[in-house]
Amino acid sequence: MSLDQTDAWFTSIVNALAHTKGVTVGSGKKGFGSSALQVDGKIFAMVSSNGSFVVKLPKDRVELLVSSGAGQRFDPGHGRLMKEWLLVETASQEEWLSLAQEAMRFVGQNA
């Protein structure tokens, strides 16, 4: 997927979720991606510095999605895979939105 398409899809997710209570759009926490959606100040979806769409989900859900081939565990660049972060590889724009909504609910309940 091209960076332009990634940006367009992420922008559509931002537009869909930005008016949800507690959701803000930020530039990401220092050293942790280039764009981020946050709920109550905690990142739940972002475009990583290499242009990949990444969401935070429960560990078991990430394992299920990895085993189904929908993505892989996210490595923020220091060689350590994150247990609750999924780098989405194969999905449609609608699936991205669904995963972002799921991530927003997960992070929001733990904020």
Domain of 30 in residue numbering reads as 3-109
If one counts the domains in the chain, the total is 1
Contacts of 43-51 with CB under 8 Å at 24 or more apart are 43/107, 44/100, 44/103, 44/104, 44/106, 44/107, 44/108, 45/10, 45/13, 45/99, 45/100, 45/103, 45/104, 47/6, 47/7, 47/10, 48/74, 48/76, 48/87, 49/77, 51/3, 51/6
Give pTM, 2 decimals.
Answer: 0.88
Q: pLDDT per residue over 21-79, tens digit each?
A: 999 987 545 545 457 999 998 999 998 888 889 999 999 999 999 999 999 999 988 88
Instruction: State the CATH number of the domain containing residue 77.
Output: 3.30.1460
